[in-house]
């Protein structure tokens, strides 16, 4: 256990810094290896760092870099019969790596508390929120139920949950995502720990909620002198709250330093790559690949150009309501208007970015455009033809023209089908429609298909087109990385030669470096196939990167619409402004300046 393998690349500053503050938590040469069916996996490979009281240390890295495993190993949560843990974790001198379960239980929640990524699944759905906080309190303190409950209510109040007296008896599903994460933080802080480990605490939340949670964490850090380890892939979040940064890659720390050192003078090539892949909201997007072959549109004349192009999709006054049922016989008691009088236009070859937070009606709007749900009123014209309320039979031929790319490449591909079958199925379904009234498509693939070419060849070509190879034909989705899966999802959509692709958060489940690749691919395909996109995302930075025009959706309405540059730089609607303001800027100096202005 005392074996101390060579540390990763040592950078200056650590020794002086540790001399300045007494280390609260000291991690030395931590190695975690998991035995799997495919052999041993070295998840954490010699990680060392120190954490002082009141300090915020960010561990940054992409999925699989070992950042979460490192954090969980500190509390012994990765212990299992197939895990080998070496090295040392000392909390105020107490060794935790070979501590007994009983010793660890005292530390967990008591001294070191943890907040996890997904507030939707991190609370047990069958117990009331208050009960779960009380359970944590009573695991560590001799306290009556009533006292613990009073403390739980106090803590819920401290994390700004309104009406905490009543809310304490709610079940997790009665809380919104942001409230659940607040409840998790309340639970973590109820026992006044000295260290808080927050593992992607805001990743699953909307930007405005994220800003609130980050502000809350910053306040608690200040008020309680709480040492915090913040694990995240989002450099914007880091720039907002961290003091020091560790960059992890493939189980090792590749670089460490202060906020400014990492952001303004990165030494490691991976760090530079990570910083380079970040989509900056506050900077104009790089020229789209479209411009290399076209007449080189500069941002200012996009709007005039798109006005000249013929409209592919025209949505006018679209309304979709859902009944709210209740009472003894589930009678309709009222309605929620998910999409409220929405109008928008997408020209040929254009990308419309649709931005909004969860519950804003983006998904309902997309489903209506795809003909998956029938709108209550309004019109949807595709190439001049009315498709709203079209019967299924007559909608089928148009289905091929409008395709969708889904958010989660992990769950949107059938795990039991090979990649070739997944993409090939789309080709076949298109074949069955060949005699239907197909509007003039791009002649390439379908022309060749009629010549009787083997589907395997076609699928192979499609896979190559999206940056995979024909060799991926026989793979199963689980054998592919997230980025590769999303490429399969795009190939599947392309197989039927669509004119319009509705991409619902296509990159939000992907790592930043992969994200950039997929966005580039989408832009390239747009150019090659004259595609139009409706690009849906909650991240206005990503939307800005790819869109010609942006529509901001809020509570079912489009509150602002216009050319990308105009909406981002001169937002007219207060909601757009608050959305833009909430986006963390991956630039420590600007983040500091912004904080100064706010306070």
Q: Quick check: 245 and 78 in contact, CB under 8 A?
A: no
**Sheet with 500-504: strands ordered across:** 402-405, 500-504, 532-537, 351-355, 549-554, 557-563
CB of residue 140 vs another protein: minimum separation in angstroms? 6
Which residue's CB is nearer to another protein, number 19 or number 126? 126
CB of residue 138 vs another protein: minimum separation in angstroms? 10
Residues that bind another protein (CB under 8 A): 72, 75, 77, 101-102, 105-110, 113-114, 116, 118, 121-126, 135-136, 139-140, 171, 173, 184, 187-188, 322, 324-330, 336
Which residue's CB is nearer to another protein, number 131 or number 472? 131
List helix spans (H) across 190-268: 207-224, 235-241, 259-264
Which residue's CB is nearer to another protein, number 180 or number 538? 180
What would the two tokens of residue 399 be? 């289905």
Which residue's CB is nearer to another protein, number 198 or number 344? 198
Identify the burial level of 232 via C-beta atoms within 10 angstroms of its C-beta, where 0-12 means exposed, 13-18 middle and 19 or more buried. Answer: buried
E-strand stretches of 302-460: 311-326, 331-347, 351-355, 377-382, 385-386, 402-405
CB contact set of 197 (below 8 Å; sequence gap of 6+): 71, 74, 75, 112, 113, 114, 115, 228, 229, 231
- Write the DSSP string, 165-211: HHHTT--GGGS-HHHHHHHHHHHHHTT--SEEEEESTTTTS-HHHHH
**Sheet with 311-326: strands ordered across:** 331-347, 311-326, 377-382, 385-386
CB contact set of 72 (below 8 Å; sequence gap of 6+): 78, 114, 199
Which residue's CB is nearer to another protein, number 286 or number 323? 323
CB of residue 82 vs another protein: minimum separation in angstroms? 10
CB contact set of 428 (below 8 Å; sequence gap of 6+): 455
3-state secondary structure of 337: strand
CB of residue 328 vs another protein: minimum separation in angstroms? 5
CB of residue 223 vs another protein: minimum separation in angstroms? 21
Which residue's CB is nearer to another protein, number 101 or number 295? 101
3-state secondary structure of 264: helix
CB of residue 179 vs another protein: minimum separation in angstroms? 16
Distance CA 567, CA 414 (A): 38
Which residue's CB is nearer to another protein, number 123 or number 279? 123
CB of residue 350 vs another protein: minimum separation in angstroms? 34
Q: Quick check: 246 and 274 in contact, CB under 8 A?
A: no
What is the CA 578 to chain-centroid distance, rounded? Answer: 20
Q: What is the dihedral of CA 202, 203, 209, 214, to 10 degrees?
A: 30
Which residue's CB is nearer to another protein, number 80 or number 469? 80
Distance CA 387, CA 379 (A): 8
Backbone angles phi and psi of 257, in degrees to 5: 170, -175
Which residue's CB is nearer to another protein, number 27 or number 247? 27
Which residue's CB is nearer to another protein, number 106 or number 594? 106
CB of residue 495 vs another protein: minimum separation in angstroms? 34
E-strand stretches of 356-471: 377-382, 385-386, 402-405
CB of residue 329 vs another protein: minimum separation in angstroms? 7
Taking alpha carbons only, the member of 407, 327, 313, 323 closest to residue 368 is 313
Which residue's CB is nearer to another protein, number 102 or number 597? 102
Which residue's CB is nearer to another protein, number 139 or number 593? 139
CB of residue 23 vs another protein: minimum separation in angstroms? 22
CB of residue 516 vs another protein: minimum separation in angstroms? 29
CB of residue 125 vs another protein: minimum separation in angstroms? 6
Apex 229 CA angle, 64 and 125, nearest 5: 75
């Amino acid at each position: 256990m005392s074996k101390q393998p060579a540390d990763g690349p040592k950078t200056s500053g650590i020794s002086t810094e540790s001399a300045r503050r007494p280390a609260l938590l000291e991690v030395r040469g931590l190695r975690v290896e998991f035995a799997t069916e495919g052999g041993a996996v070295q998840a954490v490979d010699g990680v060392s760092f120190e954490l002082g009281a009141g300090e915020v240390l960010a561990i940054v890295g992409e999925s699989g870099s070992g950042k979460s495993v490192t954090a969980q190993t500190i509390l012994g949560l990765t212990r299992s019969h197939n895990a080998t843990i070496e090295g040392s974790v000392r909390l105020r001198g107490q060794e935790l790596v070979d501590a007994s379960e009983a010793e660890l239980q005292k530390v967990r929640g008591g001294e070191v508390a943890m907040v996890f990524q997904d507030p939707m699944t991190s609370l047990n759905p069958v117990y009331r929120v208050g009960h779960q906080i009380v359970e944590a309190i009573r695991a560590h303190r001799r306290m009556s139920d009533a006292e613990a409950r009073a403390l739980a209510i106090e803590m819920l109040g401290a994390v700004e949950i309104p009406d905490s007296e009543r809310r304490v008896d709610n079940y997790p599903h009665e809380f919104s995502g942001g409230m659940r994460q607040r409840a998790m933080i309340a639970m973590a802080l109820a026992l006044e720990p000295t260290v808080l480990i927050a593992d992607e605490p805001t990743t699953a939340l909307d930007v405005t909620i994220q800003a609130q949670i980050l502000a809350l964490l910053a306040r608690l850090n200040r008020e309680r002198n709480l040492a915090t380890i913040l694990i995240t892939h989002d450099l914007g979040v880091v720039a907002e709250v961290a003091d020091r940064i560790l960059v992890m890659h493939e189980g090792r720390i590749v670089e460490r330093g202060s906020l400014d050192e990492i952001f303004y003078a990165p030494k490691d090539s991976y760090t530079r790559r990570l910083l380079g892949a970040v989509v900056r909201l506050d900077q104009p997007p790089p020229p789209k690949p479209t411009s290399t072959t076209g007449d080189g549109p500069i941002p200012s004349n996009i709007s005039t150009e798109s006005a000249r192009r013929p409209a592919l999709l025209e949505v006018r006054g679209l309304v979709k309501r859902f009944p709210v049922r209740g009472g003894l016989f589930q009678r309709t008691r009222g309605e929620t208007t998910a999409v409220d009088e929405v109008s928008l236009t997408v020209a040929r070859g254009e990308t419309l970015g649709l931005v909004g937070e969860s519950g804003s009606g983006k998904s309902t709007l997309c489903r209506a455009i795809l003909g998956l749900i029938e709108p209550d009123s309004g019109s949807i014209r595709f190439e001049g033809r009315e498709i709203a309320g079209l019967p299924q039979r007559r909608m089928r031929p148009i289905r091929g023209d409008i395709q969708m790319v889904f958010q989660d490449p992990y769950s949107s591909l059938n795990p039991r089908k090979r990649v070739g079958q997944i993409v090939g199925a789309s080709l076949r379904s298109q074949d069955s429609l060949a005699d239907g009234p197909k509007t003039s498509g791009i002649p390439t693939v379908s022309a060749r298909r009629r010549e009787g070419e083997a589907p395997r060849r076609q699928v192979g070509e499609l896979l190559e087109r999206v940056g995979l190879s024909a060799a991926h034909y026989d793979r199963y989705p689980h054998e592919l990385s997230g980025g590769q899966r999303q490429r399969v999802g795009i190939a599947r959509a392309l197989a039927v030669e669509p004119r319009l692709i509705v991409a619902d958060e296509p990159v939000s489940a992907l790592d930043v470096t992969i994200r950039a690749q997929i966005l580039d691919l989408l832009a390239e395909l747009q150019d090659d196939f004259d595609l139009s996109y409706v690009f849906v995302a909650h991240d206005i930075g990503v939307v800005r990167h790819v869109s010609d025009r942006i529509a901001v959706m809020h509570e079912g309405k489009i509150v602002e619409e216009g050319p990308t540059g105009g909406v981002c730089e001169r937002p007219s609607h207060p909601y757009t402004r608050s959305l833009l303001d909430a986006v963390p800027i991956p630039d420590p100096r600007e983040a500091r300046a912004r904080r100064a202005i706010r306070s």
